[in-house]
Amino acid sequence: MDKEQAEPTTHFGYREVPESEKTRLVGRVFRSVATRYDLMNDLMSGGLHRAWKAFALNIAAAKPGERVLDLAGGTGDLAAAMAVRVSDRGLVVLSDINDAMLAVGRDRLMDRGTPRRLTYVQANAESLPFPDNTFDLITIGFGLRNVTHKDRALAAMSRALKPGGRCVVLEFSRPRSPLFGRLYDAYSFAVVPKLGRYVAQDEESYQYLVESIRKHPDQEALKALMEDAGLQRVTYWNLTGGIVAVHRGYKL
């Protein structure tokens, strides 16, 4: 009799865990940090995350009348901005797998006056509950590195895009300068978890977030993954020396 095959493993930060456990563990991280997520982003990046998102929005170039899906949309920064750009003739779907993050985002945007063209869906990026050829634009900001099977998520995005539609990925990446990379690592590991301890009362979750960045594919590897998923004309832009990159690909 064949021996029962061991369950495949994947990384959760620097730990190896069963694939079936990663979604639960990532979910626990974001439920823990949801209420302090925006404040921590400002503190960790010195406010730079706002400039990174603004650049990604310009690359995404949402237009009036378009249908847009923002995956792992968290507290709704990208979705809210794109809802303005698509106008009342368009639609933006703010989606996140994590119920706590989606609730914080929904409440925050409702407090600001939610546009009628913005709606909310809890969904797993690996198995999107939308028909083929639904969206003109799909974005995912600082969320792809937390997905267990990035190839499946990118394939799902490609499937859900209309022909001619575009996919934009905003994510941490690899600094281009080795010296800058060492300084960035020193800051990340020494400062970010401590901020998590004192501000979010959760050092462990921010240790995971720092580690997850190092396990994410670099610029060229992510470009190849997007091309393997069926996206074409994939290009990317490095921001802040490569700490962050914006990738864009088209479904042709």
Helix axes 37-45, 48-60, angle to 10 degrees: 100
pTM of the model: 0.94
Closest to 124 (Cα-Cα) out of 71, 80, 174, 73:
71
Termini Cα distance of the chain: 48
Instruction: Record the tokens describing residue 41, joined without a space.
Output: 């982003």
Residue 41 marked in a binding site = no
Residue 134 marked in a binding site = no
* Cα–Cα distance measured from residue 41 to residue 28, given in angstroms and rounded to the nearest whole number: 18
Residue 112 burial (C-beta neighbours within 10 Å; 0-12, 13-18, 19+): exposed
In tens digits, the chain (252 residues) has pLDDT values of 444 567 899 999 999 999 989 999 999 999 999 999 999 999 999 999 999 999 999 999 999 999 999 999 988 999 999 999 999 999 999 999 999 999 999 998 888 876 678 999 999 999 999 999 999 999 999 999 999 999 999 999 999 999 999 999 999 999 999 999 999 999 999 999 999 999 999 999 999 999 999 999 999 999 999 999 999 999 999 999 999 999 999 999
Distances (CA, A) of 56 to 67, 95, 140: 17, 17, 10
* Cα–Cα distance measured from residue 175 to residue 219, given in angstroms and rounded to the nearest whole number: 10
CATH of segment(s) 9-176+206-250: 3.40.50.150
Residue 111 marked in a binding site = no
Residue 124 marked in a binding site = yes
Domain boundaries, the chain: 9-176+206-250
